């Protein structure tokens, strides 16, 4: 389904055992995310291990593997994106010490879902951008020390360079301001010091 138009959007995964609900969320996110939709926990974990997902919209109460169980497994699958739980009730708590990043209460309306997903995209985008700046600085330091023709054999350099490219790509798809921020970062002349 993904085409060139959606390739630059954040990748969202919608998980809900009720197909009608999951599909409705997926359509509501069209245009702001590249959406994957699955209807049970194990399928969600399968998607997570196959591709880089930025945001997961997770139904808490699913038969078999519940949203909380999926949440517990995400770490084991190397997931570093954000998780928005969809719950049946709204107790009105802040999420400071909750195991997820935010929550939405059913029924979820179109504006809320887009707003929450947009908000989480921005948070993740800045997180990844921060990490990119730190990794990219290291890469540049090594680049200054290692000759260009020897870099291909330099394991550490290759690892850092790959990571920097991934981070940059994700930050770009997550936050609109990333080009400007990246340009400012690049404008600093580190090697000259």
Binding site for another protein (CB under 8 A): 1, 19-20, 22-24, 26-27, 30, 37, 60-61, 63, 66-68, 87-93, 97-99
Number of H helices, E strands in the chain: 6, 5
Q: Among residues 106 and 169, whose Cβ is nearest to another protein?
A: 106
Write the DSSP string, 93-108: ---TTSSSSEEEESSP
Q: Among residues 87 and 137, whose Cβ is nearest to another protein?
A: 87
Q: How far is the CB of 84 from another protein (least distance, A)?
A: 14
Q: Among residues 92 and 155, whose Cβ is nearest to another protein?
A: 92
Listed residue (51, 85, 49, 1) closest to 169, CA to CA: 51
Q: Which residues pair with 58 in a beta bridge?
A: 15, 85
Q: How many residues comprise the chain?
A: 193
Q: Among residues 14 and 161, whose Cβ is nearest to another protein?
A: 14
Nearest-angstrom CA–CA distance, 48 and 44: 6
Q: How far is the CB of 17 from another protein (least distance, A)?
A: 11
Q: How far is the CB of 72 from another protein (least distance, A)?
A: 10
Q: How far is the CB of 193 from another protein (least distance, A)?
A: 47
Q: Which residue has the tokens 């919608």?
A: 14
Nearest-angstrom CA–CA distance, 13 and 26: 9
Q: How far is the CB of 24 from another protein (least distance, A)?
A: 4
Q: Are 90 and 109 in contact (CB under 8 A)?
A: no
Q: Are 87 and 41 in contact (CB under 8 A)?
A: no
């Amino acid at each position: 389904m993904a085409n060139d138009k959606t390739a630059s959007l954040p990748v969202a995964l919608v998980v809900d055992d009720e197909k009608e609900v999951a599909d409705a969320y997926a359509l509501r996110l069209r245009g702001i995310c590249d959406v994957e939709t699955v209807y049970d926990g194990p399928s969600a974990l399968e998607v997570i291990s196959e591709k880089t997902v930025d945001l997961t919209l997770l139904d808490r109460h699913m038969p078999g593997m519940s949203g909380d169980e999926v949440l517990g497994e995400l770490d084991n699958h190397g997931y570093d994106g954000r998780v928005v739980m969809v719950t049946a009730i709204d107790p009105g708590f802040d999420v400071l010490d909750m195991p997820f990043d935010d929550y939405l209460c059913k029924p979820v309306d179109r504006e809320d879902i887009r707003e929450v997903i947009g908000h989480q995209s921005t948070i993740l985008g800045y997180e990844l951008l921060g990490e990119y700046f730190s990794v990219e600085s290291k890469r540049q330091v090594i680049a200054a020390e290692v000759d260009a023709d020897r870099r291909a054999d330099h394991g550490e350099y290759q690892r850092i360079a790959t990571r920097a490219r991934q981070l940059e790509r994700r930050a770009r798809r997550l936050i609109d301001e990333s080009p400007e921020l990246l340009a400012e970062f690049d404008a600093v002349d580190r090697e000259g010091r």
